[in-house]
Amino acid sequence: MPQFRYVRLDEDVILASLEEVRSGTWLIYPTERSCNEAKQAYQTKRNPLDVTLLSMEEFKRRLIFSSRVRLEDEKRLVCLFQCMTTEDKAAFHIEKYPDLVDWGQHFLELFEELSEEEIDPAELLQRIESNQVFCQEWQWQNYARMLAILNQYRDFVHAKGFTDKLFDNSSSEIHLPADVRRFVFVNQFYYSRLEKSVLDRIETARKEAVIIFQGPQEWLECANLNCSGFNLKEAFPHPALPFSLKISESTDHWQMALAFLRDFQPQPDNTGKTHLIIDAGFLQQPYHTVFASRFFKFAEKPI
């Protein structure tokens, strides 16, 4: 069983996580952004220790792998296009490679999610065919063809000596580093089945796992790592909230951005203060270039 640390909502969870720094420790953060913030905070401490800070995705890439070279990015789409038959392409209205890009990304994302939850795609088809999972006939036909394409893709890349995370992202391919004794998981609100398998493997190897959770202890079920929904009254029981909330309505995204910038007044005597933009697709919006990074904090790349 992992050790649990609970951090109040009004505390800085990044600084709290750095208190767990020991030699031979990996600290794992839920996103690349939170990991980068932790790295910046840790650099100011200048502790000459054997410590590694990782995002959850990078952590899994380091632990879960096979002996084959794993395809990444566009190489996956190129191989996917090459392995599809003429009938496959016609079924999904794919004539040339550019037609595949958007469809192919969704194809890979679907089977990545299944592998992350350790669900066998073939077993899911059997459940659909036995009416355990309801779907329309066209959905069943599309999934059956996609499963056939997945098998073709596996045979194609394996024949060339490569692999894909769709095929080796499993608990059987977990390789824990021998020189790491402690794994600290910081404020991960959801753990997939694969991530839980990693925790089980850490326990089996008699290594130390620490889970830092920001919120009341009652919000986290330790046995299955399920987190309950956010409850404002439980989070802030005092009548005076430590923050204020203002909601403005606009007809579209452009009007929203322009209305905000019209009312926004940066404080010249406090240039170190930044405002957080919570929008996973912010960099995909054409108006993002008018938001100066010295005043606003947002994701460094689209999610």
Give residue-wise pLDDT tens across range 122-146: 999 999 999 888 889 999 999 999 9
Per-residue tokens: 64: 């879960």
Angle between helices 137-159 and 74-83 (to 10 degrees): 110
Confidence at 109, pLDDT banded by 50, 70, 90: very high
| Rounded CA separation 210/222 (Å) | 12
pLDDT in tens, 24-66: 999 999 999 899 999 999 988 767 788 999 999 999 999 999 9
Is the model more confident about 237 or about 144? 144
How many C-beta atoms lie closer than 10 Å to residue 244's C-beta? 5
DSSP letters, 86-135, are HHHHHHTT--SHHHHHHHHHHHHHHHHHHHHTT--HHHHHHHHHTTSS--
206, 233, 184: which is closest to 18 by C-alpha?
Answer: 184
The neighbouring-strand residues paired with 209 are: 183
User: In angstroms, how far is the first alpha carbon of the chain from the final one?
Assistant: 32
224 vs 45, more confident: 224
CA pair distance 86, 100, nearest whole angstrom: 13
Q: Which residue has the higher pLDDT, 240 or 53?
A: 53
Measure the CA–CA gap between 125 and 131, rounded to whole angstroms.
10
**HSE-up (13 A, CA, CB side) for residue 235:** 15
Residue entry with tokens 């404020």: 187
Nearest to 105 by CA among 133, 80, 135, 68: 80
